[in-house]
Amino acid sequence: QVTVTVEPSLQVAPYACQRRTPLDHPHPALVMALETLAEAALFEGEEARGLAFTRAASVLRCLPRALRGTHELSGLPGIGGHSHRVLQEVLEDGVCAEVEAVKQSERYQTMKLFTQIFGVGVRTADRWYREGLRSLGDLQSHGTRLTREQQAGVECFEDLAVPVGRAEAEGLACLVLDAAARLLPNASVTLAGGFRRGKPHGHDVDLLLSHPEEGREVGLLGPLVAWLEEQGLLLYQHSQHSSYTTTAEPSSSCGPLDRFERCFTILRLVLPATGTGVRAWRAVRLDLVVVPHSQLPFALLGWTGSRHFERELRRFARHKREMVLNSHGLYNMQQGTFLPASSEEEIFQHLGLDYIPPTLRNA
């Protein structure tokens, strides 16, 4: 009997939503190098360049086995000249000089620090950098004006820099579910975001609130947030009303932002009892999103991520299917109709895509 070992082929489909991308992949160093350059490009406001590096990194994330050499890069989609040079250097020398220089630079380090603050985006971070600010201490000593959100972000900075663990996220989901079900029997709470993709840690906890009867979810968020407040669990909150209308033109170009009623919070996460003198809680970011039942599959798909997977789904829908996909629904532009779905699987079917389960959406 002859045994033939077939190596997994490195054929990669062009859109990330056509690929299965697990959490673990064979090239952490290569992906890290490209994602650092992507991040640095975004810090300079160079979206297109950032996206090119993100695309290349995402292709490496889905490889079923390690590359056997630089020659195998040429068969892969989405690896531009610059990415190719970076990958070649890391494969041959272990590091890429350009990436190391970026990581060491004052600009990159400061932008990374400032954008890590809750409520601070690239534009604000850049303005502070140009004003000569370099540290959290500088913000205070220069009397920098902060929004209420940024103020909370600075105060909780060290806590929020600690990753949230899966058990902590599930604990918060249970706490919210208990409270929601008391206020509205049969209310549902779904843990979305990175945790749904199988990540062991996250920078926040993303929860979708709903109810099996359409419309019953309206009015749940206010009392729920009030209850968290009464329990002394709320360190910060910022609510937004729903701005969804079926008459508005469907759009997928407004980024990940959607129009659900939501509340961005910083919560006091109560920690297991420890010795005396040790603080018994830690600040954690929690996003609550209220979703009508009929939109739940779309919201779940939209809030599970990864961000790149979402971007690619929407790009695929538009360019390959003439459809508009967002967290509210799927719109067929030729027919001028919305395509309803009762599960994520159905949305993939509408798009003519193989179903990709959440744990394989780590693009």
178 is catalytic: no
> Does residue 257 touch ligand 8DG according to CB under 6 A?
yes
> Does residue 199 touch ligand 8DG according to CB under 6 A?
yes
**How far is the C-alpha of 114 from the C-alpha of 125, rounded, in Å?**
5
Which residues of the chain form contacts with Mn ion (CB under 5 A)? Answer: 193-194, 202, 204, 206, 287
If we measure between CA atoms, which residue out of 87, 93, 106 comes closest to residue 37?
A: 87
**How far is the C-alpha of 57 from the C-alpha of 39, rounded, in Å?**
12
**How far is the C-alpha of 112 from the C-alpha of 128, rounded, in Å?**
12
# chain residues binding ligand 8DG, by CB under 6 A? 17
Single out the residue of 35, 204, 261, 344 in contact with ligand 8DG (rule: CB under 6 A): 204
Asked if 21 contacts 58 with a C-beta cutoff of 8 angstroms, the reply is yes
93 is catalytic: no
Residues 138-157 that bind ligand 8DG (CB under 6 A): none
Query: Which amino acid is present at 16?
Result: A
> Does residue 241 touch ligand 8DG according to CB under 6 A?
no
Of residues 208 and 323, the one with the C-beta less far from Mn ion: 208
Of residues 56 and 169, the one with the C-beta less far from Mn ion: 169
206 is catalytic: yes
Residues 174-193 that bind ligand 8DG (CB under 6 A): 193
Residue 49, token pair as written in the block: 């360049």
Residue 5, token pair as written in the block: 């070992």
> Does residue 202 touch ligand 8DG according to CB under 6 A?
yes
Residue 51, token pair as written in the block: 């996206």
> Does residue 35 touch ligand 8DG according to CB under 6 A?
no
Single out the residue of 85, 241, 307, 319 in contact with ligand 8DG (rule: CB under 6 A): 307
The dihedral formed by the CA atoms of 41, 43, 48 and 53, expressed in degrees to the nearest 10: 40
Beta bridge partners, 268, equal 283
Residue 258 beta carbon to ligand 8DG: minimum distance, rounded to whole angstroms: 5
Beta bridge partners, 281, equal 270
SS3 content of the chain, % helix, strand, coil (to 5): 45, 15, 40
**How far is the C-alpha of 344 from the C-alpha of 323, rounded, in Å?**
16
Single out the residue of 153, 302, 329, 358 in contact with ligand 8DG (rule: CB under 6 A): 302
Active-site option among 126, 204, 258, 354: 204
Binding at 292: pick from ligand 8DG, Mn ion, none (beta carbon under 5-8 Å per type): none
Positions annotated as catalytic residues are 204, 206, 287
Contact set with ligand 8DG (CB under 6 A): 193-194, 199, 202-204, 206, 256-258, 302-303, 305-307, 310, 327
